Each structure stands twice: as structure tokens, then as C-alpha cells.
Amino acid sequence: MPGAVSPVRGRPEPAADGAGTAAVLVAADEPVFPGHYPGFPIFPGVCVVEHVHLTALATLPKPGLRLAAIESTRFLSPVFPGDRLEVELAWQEKDGAWRCRAVAGTARGQAAAVRLRFTEETEEGEL
């Protein structure tokens, strides 16, 4: 979804084999870096979660799902400008809700473990 409102400019490229992995370069000119933090750029943890979110949207098991909840996120190590971030993601349906479980990592190891819940567009999410 290029052009969507997002704090990250890079877009994860899903692997061609459909294995549920995607990779994205965290470019030094990402707009968040000047303010996070001045003189010491660290990719915000929520932006790692955003890349998991974007990977999920790029691999939706059915159309019309939107993010309903971050069930859990553990931040394991920092991500810096120039890192290549890899996301490994698996979808699961249970009791009518779609969840994905993902691990995002750099060459230095795991950066975050994330569980997201998605829902179909419902009245609760209306404007």
C-alpha cells in the first residue's frame, strides 16, 4: 500500500516464494531519524512494529482485514540506519479472528517479537 499514511517510508518486499518472509532496508533518510534521536539515530520500536504491520498487510489471508490490536511486542535489540530488517510472519485463524505472529531481525539478531490481531471492517472501527 504505497502512499498510505505511515511513519516509515520503506516498504517490506515479500519473498517471491510466498514463505511469509519480507525484507526492507531501513534507510538513513527515513523521516523519523532526525528526531529519534538527534545525534543518535535509532529506529523507533513502533516503526519495527509498523514493518510487521506492513508485511501483514502485504500478505493478508483475506481482503478487508485491518489492525485491531497489538497483542504483544517484545523489543530485543535496537535497529539502526542502514540495517536490513527481515520479517518472518505466520497467519493463524482462531474463533473468527486473524492473528499473525512475527519476528523481525537484523544481521545482529532478533530485534522484536510481535503478535498482531486483525479484524474485518466493522462498525466499531467506523469513523
Residues found near other proteins in the complex (CB under 8 A): 2-7, 9, 31-32, 34-42, 44-47, 49-50, 53, 67-75, 77-78, 80-83, 108, 124-127
Q: How far apart are CA 15 and CA 25, in angstroms?
A: 14
Q: Is 36 a catalytic residue?
A: yes
Rounded distance between C-alpha atoms, residue 63 and residue 69, angstroms: 17
- Residues 36, 101, 115, 117: which is the catalytic one? 36
- Cβ contacts of residue 31 below 8 Å, gap of 6+? 7, 9
Q: Report whether 65 contacts 18 (CB < 8 A).
A: no
How far apart are CB 80 and other proteins at their closest, in Å? 5
Residue 63 CB, nearest distance to other proteins (Å)?
15
Cα dihedral value 74, 77, 82, 88, nearest 10: -40
Based on CB atoms, which residue is closest to other proteins, 21 or 106?
A: 106
| H-helix or E-strand spanning residue 47 | helix 45-58
Please report how close the Cβ of residue 103 comes to other proteins at its closest, in angstroms. 14
Give the active site residues: 36
